[in-house]
Homo-oligomer: A and B are copies of this chain.
């Protein structure tokens, strides 16, 4: 059994081949350290900018299922705030964040399609339309006609110097989706994040990990607010009075 992450002896702690005390503490940011830990090397300026942007974008989304779970546990087990974070993190699953992975896989297919991106995008738009399936990375229940985050995410990525092929593929797909649907369907932030992470060659399975890291920080904010200004008892009462009992469902 082997690891390339870390080792230590009496005097030295080594992480990814670097001396923690001499090369990392006080010299790198959290984002650089996380990239080093997860990817095994220091990020380029482009990669660092993308990670910071993605981690900033994903952190907070209001009273989502994840936050509600966290606050329920924070009110029940205030002595164990790690439990409240853990509960909220368990919401990072197929329904909300898993779509980033699916969007990324879709984009990878488009850019490597032997018929070219245009043809592949048109075919994909038609296939999903015919199957009446939701296309990962498209649509938003609230932000209509457009998700305000998407153009900003693309803008920052271009400024950071990404090659741009996956962003372009997503935009071409968007063009065909609109044409095939006969109406404008927004590229949502999930789709935009998938594209910019693909730009820096992030494996899809890591995208969920980035969400978890960012959400952990978001949830710590909610736990602290819940401690100081509790909503838990109010939410509990609200729910209890809103769910009706029936003999048979």
Q: Give chain A's interface residues, CB within 8 Å of chain B.
A: 1-8, 10-15, 17, 20-22, 24-26, 28-31, 33-34, 37-38, 49, 51-53, 55-57, 59-66, 68-69, 72-73, 75-87, 89-96, 142-144, 148-149, 152-153, 155-156, 159, 205-206, 208-210, 212-214, 216-218, 220-225, 227-229, 231-232, 234-236, 238-240, 242-249
A-B contact pairs, 20 of them (CB 8 A): A1-B242, A1-B244, A3-B245, A10-B144, A12-B148, A15-B59, A25-B57, A25-B152, A29-B31, A30-B214, A38-B217, A65-B73, A65-B232, A72-B91, A78-B95, A82-B89, A82-B208, A85-B89, A86-B86, A209-B223
The residues of B that contact A214 with a CB separation of less than 8 Å are 30
The residues of B that contact A93 with a CB separation of less than 8 Å are 73, 76-80, 82-83
Max chain B C-beta neighbours (<10 A), residue from A205, A212, A217, A244: A217
The residues of B that contact A85 with a CB separation of less than 8 Å are 89, 209, 212, 216
Cβ A247 vs Cβ B4 within 8 A: yes
Question: Can you tell how many copies of this chain the complex includes?
Answer: 4
Min CB–CB distance A176 → chain B (angstroms)? 26
The listed residue (B6, B30, B72, B78) touching A62 by CB distance below 8 A is B6
Min CB–CB distance A200 → chain B (angstroms)? 15
Q: Please name the residue on chain B nearest to A240 by beta carbon.
A: B63
The residues of B that contact A232 with a CB separation of less than 8 Å are 65
The residues of B that contact A69 with a CB separation of less than 8 Å are 68-69, 72-73, 87
Q: Please name the residue on chain B nearest to A29 by beta carbon.
A: B52
The residues of B that contact A8 with a CB separation of less than 8 Å are 62, 142
Cβ B78 vs Cβ A80 within 8 A: no
The residues of B that contact A152 with a CB separation of less than 8 Å are 21-22, 25-26
Q: Please name the residue on chain B nearest to A9 by beta carbon.
A: B142
Min CB–CB distance A78 → chain B (angstroms)? 7
Known: A21-B152, A89-B85. A5 touches B78 (CB 8 A): no
Given A63-B240, A83-B86, 6 additional A-B pairs, CB 8 A: A6-B62, A10-B144, A15-B60, A72-B72, A82-B89, A83-B93
